[in-house]
Chains A and B, each alone.
Chain A
Amino acid sequence: MTLPDPTSRPAGAPAAPADAVLALRNATLGFGSRTLWSGLDLAVTAGEFIAVIGANGSGKTSLLKVILGQQRLSGGTARFLGAPLRRGNRRIGYIPQQKLADDGTPLRARDLVGLGISGHRFGVPLPSASRRHQVDELLAAVGATRYADAPISSLSGGEQQRLRVGQALAGNPSLLLCDEPLLSLDLNYQRTVSELIDTQRRARDLGVLFVTHDINPILDMVDRVLYLANGRFRIGTPDEVLQSSVLSALYGSPVDVIRTRGRVIVVGTADGSHGHPDATGETAHHDRHLTPDGQAS
């Protein structure tokens, strides 16, 4: 592990491992006088599943925008596969929040996945046997063969999210960015969609950055957690970061982390009128739907 210029790194920051897919160093993002986060050092290695959690407005989604090349860092460096970030990199897959497609969408399930293969190319799509084959493979990989020819407006949110995973895998990515992909799904589908992402990252050795307000559906899958709050952050395993003392220091106010039945509930982070999405209201709501062993009922 060699460092090009050790002096440019802040003291104590870990060097990016050699197999890092994505490496942020001393990264800072701010708008005007407001700094979302600063001094962020983050290396995502191949096959690593990292959850990004934190308060509303803590810059989780902005972090993904930086990696997608849609937003510039105000300071520090960011490299993907050893090269500077750029827009439209095919090796980065992106899965957004579920939005129900309406009746005005002239696409079937297979067409949505097909857009992931060639949607960025200009011109009229001409039929192609190899593309069709590729789409069939992706549909099978995400378990969507059953409704391959159904209009996407007729699919449930969970079915649409499966397709989104297939679409994101179409570019044969090295890194998968997920922005609240479980939002507005029921517990059953939260489970299946996050398991699908987990299975695919193991099979394809994908780095995964998974932005979520609720860590519980993916708690037993993640390798590390990046917790953003108040312009500060902590990175570590879930056991290291999700502790009352760590989060209290991060928020600068008393925060309790309660672990019960294999779930984590963070209490006391209600910041501002929006309330912290990790606060009890949200998780308690989910708890009602869970059987004691944590399986969706």
Chain B
Amino acid sequence: MTADADFWSQIFNFTNYGELLVLLQNSIIAGAVLGVVGGLIGVFVMSRDMAFAVHGISELSFAGASAGLLFGVGVVEGSLVGSLVAAALIGLLGTRARDRNSIIAVLMPFGLGLGILCLALYPGRSANKFGLLTGQIVAVDNPRLGSLIAISIVVVVGLAVVWRPLMFASVDVDVASARGVPTRFLSLYFMLLLGLAVAVSVQVVGSLLVLSILVTPAAAALRLSSSPVLVPLLSSVFAVVSLVGGIMLALGGSVPISPYVTTISFLIYVVCRVIAALRKRHGNSGRTVDPLPARG
């Protein structure tokens, strides 16, 4: 019985919760900001079918962060450089989906290997090392929160500026290109924004779990709606709830923050799928009349 209580108090512990909340105020703000970024860019990750690219970029981001740690440049700077290099490579070399997937598959293990090498050579505490892969609950200090918010603003404003043509190019590249939308430029532009978004997400949830912020919330939102207004809105709400909720649950426990975030985000996805399945059974398809029997 006591062993059992110990186990649960490691995971959930709400003693002195008020004080902890104040201490980790920065983390919670960071989580909320990241949620908005992840939720918004996730919509394009889904419509451009780039979930695998997110994973690839995050491994290179891990390599960059490890190198930053080893050479004393800084984890944040290192992960930014790693992300941007990976995003640029994938954007430049992988214009077609098949090319892109093979380039990512080539880059990813190389990045992971490089990161592991840097960590092995790093003489410091091992808790820092593990945190790069699986996330960390270390308090986000003020300068770090500042840089995180600044990068997030760049991503959100950067997305807003190209929102419409980027959506056009994402769902219908041939027609968009025929209409004069600069599809190649947008593709590279988007990759760089994605690189920035991955780099900031890695700092909170770790490189292995970035997908839970950049893909799962958008995938869940797409189960519920196809409205170009509702999907980004829901996706951001889901991501914010996952991150802020995860951080708040993790506060007292001795477990890293990422399992809480990924679990909430996963549960939201499951609920959305169930709702979608129920709706389908009740024939709510957005059509005013039943479709004709002959379908092409």
B-binding residues in A (CB < 8 A): 68, 70, 87-90, 92, 94, 96, 101-108, 111-112, 115-116, 118-125, 145-154, 156-159, 161, 164, 167-168, 171, 177, 185-186, 188-190
Determine if B180 and A107 form an interchain contact, defined as CB atoms under 8 angstroms apart: no
Residues of A within 8 A of B20 (CB): none
Q: B67 to nearest A CB, angstroms?
A: 33
The 8 Å CB contact of B228, one of A88, A107, A122, is A107
CA distance A120 to B172 in the complex (A): 12
The 8 Å CB contact of B226, one of A105, A116, A186, is A105
29 A-B pairs within 8 Å (CB atoms) are namely: A68-B178, A92-B178, A94-B179, A104-B219, A105-B171, A106-B167, A106-B222, A106-B227, A107-B226, A108-B227, A108-B286, A115-B172, A118-B164, A120-B164, A123-B161, A125-B163, A125-B164, A146-B287, A147-B287, A147-B291, A148-B288, A149-B286, A154-B285, A156-B291, A158-B295, A167-B175, A186-B294, A186-B295, A188-B296
Determine if A124 and B287 form an interchain contact, defined as CB atoms under 8 angstroms apart: no
Residues of A within 8 A of B172 (CB): 112, 115
B43 CB within 8 Å of chain A: yes
Determine if A119 and B181 form an interchain contact, defined as CB atoms under 8 angstroms apart: yes
Residues of B within 8 A of A154 (CB): 285-286
The interface size of chain B toward A, counting residues with CB under 8 Å, comes to 40
| Residue from A108, A115, A121 whose CB has the most chain B CB atoms within 10 Å | A115
Q: Told that A92-B178, A146-B287 touch, could you supply 6 new A-B pairs with CB distance under 8 A?
A: A70-B177, A70-B178, A88-B180, A101-B171, A120-B180, A146-B289
CA distance A149 to B289 in the complex (A): 12
The 8 Å CB contact of B164, one of A70, A105, A119, is A119
B6 CB within 8 Å of chain A: no
Determine if B285 and A150 form an interchain contact, defined as CB atoms under 8 angstroms apart: yes
Q: A115 to nearest B CB, angstroms?
A: 5
The 8 Å CB contact of A157, one of B227, B285, B291, B296, is B296
B117 CB within 8 Å of chain A: no
The 8 Å CB contact of A124, one of B163, B181, B295, is B163
CA distance A201 to B293 in the complex (A): 28
Total number of A-B contacts with CB less than 8 angstroms?
139
B88 CB within 8 Å of chain A: no
Give A177's nearest chain B residue, CB to CB.
B178
CA distance A177 to B295 in the complex (A): 25
Give A168's nearest chain B residue, CB to CB.
B175
Give A114's nearest chain B residue, CB to CB.
B228
Determine if B165 and A119 form an interchain contact, defined as CB atoms under 8 angstroms apart: yes
Residues of A within 8 A of B139 (CB): none
Give A115's nearest chain B residue, CB to CB.
B168
| Residue from A104, A152, A168, A185 whose CB has the most chain B CB atoms within 10 Å | A104
Determine if A123 and B164 form an interchain contact, defined as CB atoms under 8 angstroms apart: yes
CA distance A106 to B233 in the complex (A): 12
CB interface residues, B 147-203, toward A, < 8 Å: 160-165, 167-168, 171-172, 174-181
Residues of B within 8 A of A111 (CB): 226-228
Residues of B within 8 A of A103 (CB): 222
Residues of B within 8 A of A119 (CB): 164-165, 167-168, 176, 179, 181
Determine if A147 and B163 form an interchain contact, defined as CB atoms under 8 angstroms apart: no
CA distance A107 to B229 in the complex (A): 9
